[in-house]
Amino acid sequence: MVRKYTLPLCLGIFVILLTACSDTKKNENETAMNNPLLAEWTGPFGGVPAFDKMNIADLQEATEYAMEKHLEEINAIANNPEAPTFENTLLAMEKAGSLMNRVSVYNGIWSSNMSSPEFREVQNILSPKLAEYRSKISQNEALFQRIKTVYENSKTNPLPAEQQRVVDLMYQEFEMNGANLDAEGKKRYAEINKELSSLYNTFSNNVLHDEENYVTYLDENQLGGLSDSFIASAKAAAEERGQAGKYAITNTRSSMDPFLTYSTERDLREKVWRTYYSRGDNNDAYDNNEVVSQILKLRHERVQLLGYDNFADWRLQDRMAKNPDNAMQLMETVWEASLARVEEEVAEMQAIADAERAGIAIAPWHYRFYAEKLRRAKYDLDSDEVKQYVELNNLTDAIFYVAGELFNFNFTPITDGSVPVFHEDVKVWEVTDRTSGEHIGVFYLDPYARTGKRSGAWATQYRSYANYDGKRTVLGSNNSNFVKPAPGESVLVSWDDAETFFHEFGHALHFFSSNVTYPYLGGGVRDYTEFQSQLLERWLITDEVINRYLKHYKTGEVMPQELIAKIKKAATFNQGFATTEFLASALMDMKYHTTDPATINPKEFEKEMLAQLNMPEEIVMRHRTPHFSHVFSGEGYATAYYGYLWADVLTSDAAEAFAEAPGGFYDKELAAKLIKYLFSPRNAIDPSEAYRLFRGRDATIDALMRDRGFPVPVK
């Protein structure tokens, strides 16, 4: 659903990380040529990244050189004396930038999987240069004129469908990024982007600082209610931090959430809650409130240069929602139902607290604890009991099984060391077609949490599919933050995390099933790209997966039918909380970007807006403003957080199609349509059109409301 923090790789040219440096000397060029981060990928499967040769000392040089080379290629295209055509302009752009593509992959690993103070130092140097480099492409006047000519010519002489879509989307992207501005406007536009890129780094580094540096240590007599596995990992986490004999509750969701759910130490629950929800908000050198103000002002100024009222209007024009009103309308409909549900949930929890004479009113730091009690009382469902049947290796086999049945993919472990990895915990598989044996790609899985790794779970691709110049196969990855077990121990996964595991694999399947000719069409549409991954979560609770893979980690016994029935019955449980904490963030995201930022003081604004929305005092935003990384550590999810809900409307609607199909969730005919229209084309077909081809009609909100146990609106 909405608990994920994903970063599917976008292939838009402005998304490529990194920039230009003009003072490179000749002998530096020669060194750069030998830089391992720039080297052509060698080894099997059309070459794989040399993750075993990564050295942070090479990053700055490699990046600067790659930016320079890419800009030379772009200039050659822009200044081509021949009349502009699809081939000599747009296709040529697709072919350019291979050095940047390679170095960006390594940069992404350092940024997300293996961050360090050394990396952050280089990143701070490179960010403004990268922003400048991107501006040099997006604002290259001669280049844009060529794209415009091809675009205008195609109005009278349409190109083949895929080429036409590349032209339409690229023209729009350039226009949205300031290509039509005059010289002065372009200059300011580029300056703004440069400033923003530094602010995004500051924002995310501040959050990471507060995640790494605020740790709550417990003594042995403070472990009441916690599971053995949680205690073991807290003990290991304390040892890792030089506090042997203590137990560390780290400041991440994967530590905070189970602690608040199970700990019987009321005061400590409040402390851990406050610590977590104060990330970036501690009135110190790492406070993000002023950073947010500056980001909002710069974003606003930038879209005003382009003639838009606000950032949201500008941003949503190429999304499925098209405009902020459509997104707000959906959110407000669900919000009302969600608030009504919270009231019921709180009343039920308060009754439990009163019955045990706890002497409390339900506060945010009590919510998870009493929700768990309510879950046990009302549904007799014990999350810890569920976990015993959800073991990580079995879950991994389960996703491969689903991929085999639906997508006809086969996953074979690669254990001969021919595919280098950046950490010993990372595992790799070759993906092939089950029938023909044809090579499809390589799947990397980085399952465990470590210092310097971003929290949450996400999917990315190191190389995307393309076919304009021979078949280029996919290198895709999933990344999670499970606590690494002691040798010989099992990783037991909560039901939520199991759904997330399926979710991220849905992104991977979306990568692997791509059949676009041009890489440009492999990019995701933000409010659509969570749909494929959310849909895949639905296969976790199919009988086929349960009977084969959800087995007790000790006895091997299949999850009992009564337990499954309880899980299904409890599916709508706590939806008030889940929907409200998510929607509060999504609504705030939209409010921030539809309001004049001159009037915004984030601390005040958050409070005022939430009060206007009647935000229940027992719940906080899932991501409060000063650590809302989706929105402020970059632009990927700015005015796009609603996209999870937008995509979930499609998810519920599509899942009903499977539930109603003769073969259920493994119906071959419907699976074939799913792949043909909703997975393989990526952005080669307009998403609304693609969905209609799959379903025979547009999606409606009804299935989503049913799934969450909310009343279906009367038309």
Interface contacts to Zn ion, rule CB under 5 A: 4, 6, 530, 533
Q: What residues have CB less than 8 Å from 357, skipping those under 6 apart?
A: none
Token code pair at residue 219: 């003594």
Helix or strand (DSSP H, E) at 433: strand 427-433
- Residue with the CB atom nearest Zn ion in the bound state: 6
Which C-beta is closer to Zn ion: that of 288 or that of 500?
A: 500
Beta bridge partners of 409: 433
Report which of 100, 305, 75, 309 is spatially closest to residue 191, judged by C-alpha positions: 305
Which C-beta is closer to Zn ion: that of 605 or that of 644?
A: 644
Which C-beta is closer to Zn ion: that of 6 or that of 513?
A: 6
Q: Look up tokens 């009382």; give the residue.
A: 377
* 247 close to 218: Cβ distance less than 8 angstroms: yes
Neighbours of 564 (CB within 10 A): 18
The least CB distance from residue 459 to Zn ion, in Å, is 7
Which C-beta is closer to Zn ion: that of 122 or that of 321?
A: 321
Which C-beta is closer to Zn ion: that of 210 or that of 530?
A: 530
The helix/strand/coil state of 410 is strand
The least CB distance from residue 443 to Zn ion, in Å, is 16
Phi and psi dihedrals of 429, rounded to 5? -135, 145
The least CB distance from residue 542 to Zn ion, in Å, is 20
User: Distance between CA atoms of 37 and 112, rounded to whole angstroms?
Assistant: 17
The least CB distance from residue 67 to Zn ion, in Å, is 29
Q: What residues have CB less than 8 Å from 696, skipping those under 6 apart?
A: none
Pairing between β-strand 474-482 and β-strand 439-448 as defined by DSSP bridges? parallel
Which C-beta is closer to Zn ion: that of 533 or that of 651?
A: 533
User: Distance between CA atoms of 591 and 332, rounded to whole angstroms?
Assistant: 13
Beta bridge partners of 268: none
Which C-beta is closer to Zn ion: that of 600 or that of 674?
A: 674
The least CB distance from residue 123 to Zn ion, in Å, is 24
DSSP category for residue 375:
I
Beta bridge partners of 458: 479
Beta bridge partners of 476: 443, 461
Which C-beta is closer to Zn ion: that of 6 or that of 289?
A: 6
The least CB distance from residue 497 to Zn ion, in Å, is 14
The least CB distance from residue 124 to Zn ion, in Å, is 28
Residue type, 485: P
Rg (Cα) of the chain, in Å, rounded? Answer: 25
Distances from the Cα of 524 to the Cα of 9, 111, 450, 634, 640, angstroms: 8, 21, 28, 16, 12
The least CB distance from residue 17 to Zn ion, in Å, is 20
Which C-beta is closer to Zn ion: that of 4 or that of 235?
A: 4
The least CB distance from residue 648 to Zn ion, in Å, is 11
